[in-house]
Amino acid sequence: MTVLTLRESGWTAPKALLLDLDGTLYKGDTPIPGADKLIEEMTARGVPCWFVTNNSTRTPAQVAEHLHKMNIPASPGQVITSAQAAAEYAKRNFPGASVYLIGEHGIREALREARLSLADDREDAAADLVVQGIDRGLTYERLTAAVRHLLRGASYLLTNPDRLLPTGDGYLPGAGSIAALLEAASGVTPTVIGKPSPILMNYALERAGVAAADAWVVGDNPHTDIAAGQSAGSPTVLVLTGLCTEADWRQRCEAAGALPDAVCPGLEDLVDWITYGKIQREQHWKG
């Protein structure tokens, strides 16, 4: 099995890689083979790697530390989270807003760095904006407060729509599951920041300082990574390192309505393809 390209022509070397994390570079605390080699080789070739994640719980420094523990080279400045993108979106579109937050440390720090005011849980507290991510310490009282703010006219930002959060021993309800409750109770549909929304990808492209056509989006999930890359207008590469397998990737992509420009079985294949131009046409691929 080798690289499958579904785009007939127009491939040019990337000027940046926008890389998904969980399922693409690692699974939990285990690095995916070739992750370190990919970053090292791209860095040596002058192709910056940006780590783009829907996870809003960690700060960029915490994400970089997690990558370092798996010997994947990374600095906090290379990390782009849905929390950062949500805070920047709120700062630009709701200047001076009072924010009611449902979320954890990563999004709280991002909002503080954006100098946005956080509303407290007092009954008479007013909020112009509800910002919501995953919150594993969430209480019914805080859900109630968020619904009341929304019913009073507050706008609503959702860091990411993932309904399930994978863990080492199964799944937890994700930010999207909390959002389903808030939307059902309030009737307010949130603005989604994370993948598959192009908002996160456009923020990443702005940070990377490259045009969409020059940045390859690499990920394992057609519903989030590939769909977001396509929405932003970037070339997309599906790697069969997480969600999809050789047997089911096409079915999953069709279900997501997001067909990638290329499919790679692993990260080492991606390195070889970018480095040595080992491109095979679809009719030569046994997939």
Question: Which sequence positions are flagged as catalytic?
Answer: 20, 22
Q: Which residues contact 260 (CB under 8 A, 6 or more apart)?
A: 6, 222, 226, 236, 237, 238, 253
CA dist 146 and 141 (Å) reads 9
Q: What does R_g of the chain's alpha carbons equal in angstroms? A: 19
- How many angstroms separate the CA atoms of 249 and 2, rounded? 14
Contact in structure between 226 and 236 (CB atoms under 8 Å)? yes
**DSSP character for 224?**
I
How many other C-beta atoms lie within 10 A of the C-beta of residue 127? 24
